[in-house]
Amino acid sequence: MAAPKKDSREQMHRIFSVIRVLINHRNPVSSKQIVDELEQDYGICTTLRTVQRDLSTLESLGYNVKCSGGQGYLLNRSELASMIFTDAEVQALQMSRSIFGYFEGTYIKKQVDSAISMITGSTNRDNLTKKYLAELEDNFMVHLGPHRQFANKNDIIDELFEAVNGRQKVVIDYHRPAMKTVPLQVDPYRIILYRDTLYLLALRADAESLQVFHISRIESVRTLSRKFRRNTAIIEKFEDTLSDCFGIFAYGKLTDVTIRFSKSVRDALQERVWHHSQQITEEKNSVTLKLRVLASNEFAAWILGWGKEVKEITPKAVADMVAKMRG
């Protein structure tokens, strides 16, 4: 099969870009506005006549983009979604909506709800699929249990996402428990979700390695005009270290640890992946867990949570950490 001609490829790219412009708007846009946004956001320089021809092409393909009364152009995003997502994918997305309950009241949750409503609300879905989607709330349930609230951090989360996407330096006012709030200038690399908590992965101005900050402890954010360039080497170093963590905080000495538990917690141990290095063996009256992890307070706290079910810990350095935490 012959490859598409260059003009055809350029037209396809331009038409897809026109679609992207349209779906980014909730209200009708003029063809002149589409021309301007194509150049500004996608680097496509074109004419008013060419864009109008592209819009006519979309109409001929079944996309209803014209608004009545000559008010501009608007794309029904639900109709577009019905052509992209299968029914099974739509059902999976609908089920995932409740999982984002951790972020109720935040910009993240609002955008997730908007996207899923658009995708599941298509008039092109068959009646059986619509009926199944309507019944999902009764048939599928997510119980969040105790979790952190982020609604009061909505503006902070929004600004951090903008800074991460735009590679903008920021100053965060950060509060550590039992300590004063301090301003820290950082390069924000990533937002991390771990369990029910959001963290900021960032590089401090006076540091050589990435650090993790609780977003719930950030009291304010000020975005600076200066940009930063991501250092891929320190990202790789963090990811390598994180694989050895028992949690999210990358510190501690890499240690071979053996923990002997009572036999009564065998099933509780075996039904989860606690760490990629874990090895679980059974004896007559006990279960042994071996791991190679960073010996951190996070890890010691996890061991402590098993209470009297823990019978023996080696090496002694880790046993001492747990004993100290127990007090």
Reported as a single tens digit per residue, the pLDDT across 113-147 is: 887 777 766 655 556 566 766 777 677 778 888 88
Give the residue from 94, 103, 101, 82 showing the smallest Cα distance to 139: 94
Cα distances (angstroms) measured from residue 146 to each of 102, 173, 195: 10, 26, 11
Distance, in Å, from the CA atom of 236 to the CA atom of 317, rounded to the nearest integer, reads 29
Interior/surface letters 86-114, b for 16+ CB within 10 angstroms, e for the rest: eeeebbebbbebeebebbeebbbbeebee
Domain 253-326: which CATH class?
Answer: alpha beta
- In angstroms, the CA 183 to CA 173 distance is 4
Q: Is pLDDT at 2 greater than 50 in this prediction? A: no
Predicted confidence band of residue 90 (pLDDT cuts 50, 70, 90) = confident
Mean pLDDT across 198-214: 93
The answer, yes or no, to whether residue 265 has pLDDT greater than 90, is: yes
Beta carbons within 8 Å of 193's beta carbon, 6+ residues apart = 199
Per-residue pLDDT, averaged over 198-205, amounts to 94
Average pLDDT of the chain?
87
**Residue 160 in contact with residue 170, Cβ under 8 Å?**
yes
Q: What is the chain's percent helix, strand, coil content, to nearest 5? A: 50, 25, 30
Contact 246, 195 (CB under 8 A): no
Topology of domain 6-75, CATH: Arc Repressor Mutant, subunit A (1.10.10)
Please name the amino acid found at residue 61: L
DSSP string, 170-191: EEEEE--TTS--EEEEEEEEEE
Q: State how far the Cα of 76 lies from the Cα of 69, in Å rounded to an integer.
A: 17
Identify the pLDDT of residue 1: 45
How many C-beta atoms lie closer than 10 Å to residue 162's C-beta? 15
CB 239 within 8 A of CB 282: no
Domain 151-242 falls under CATH 2.30.30: yes
Between residues 191 and 125, which one has the greater pLDDT? 191
pLDDT tens for residues 142-184? 888 888 888 889 999 999 999 999 999 999 999 988 889 999 9
Q: For CATH 3.30.70, list the domain ranges present in the chain.
A: 253-326
**CATH 1.10.10.10 residue window(s) in the chain:** 6-75
CA distance 111 to 154: 12
- What is the model's pTM? 0.70
- Report how far residue 141's alpha carbon sits from residue 296's, in angstroms, rounded to the nearest whole number: 35
* pLDDT of 78: 66
pLDDT band at 101 (very low <50, low <70, confident <90, very high): confident
List the one residue out of 115, 198, 218, 188 whose CA is nearest residue 149.
Answer: 198
Sequence letter at residue 270: Q
* Delimiting residues of CATH 2.30.30 domain(s) in the chain: 151-242
- Average the pLDDT over 97-102 and give the result: 80
Classify residue 167 by its DSSP letter. T
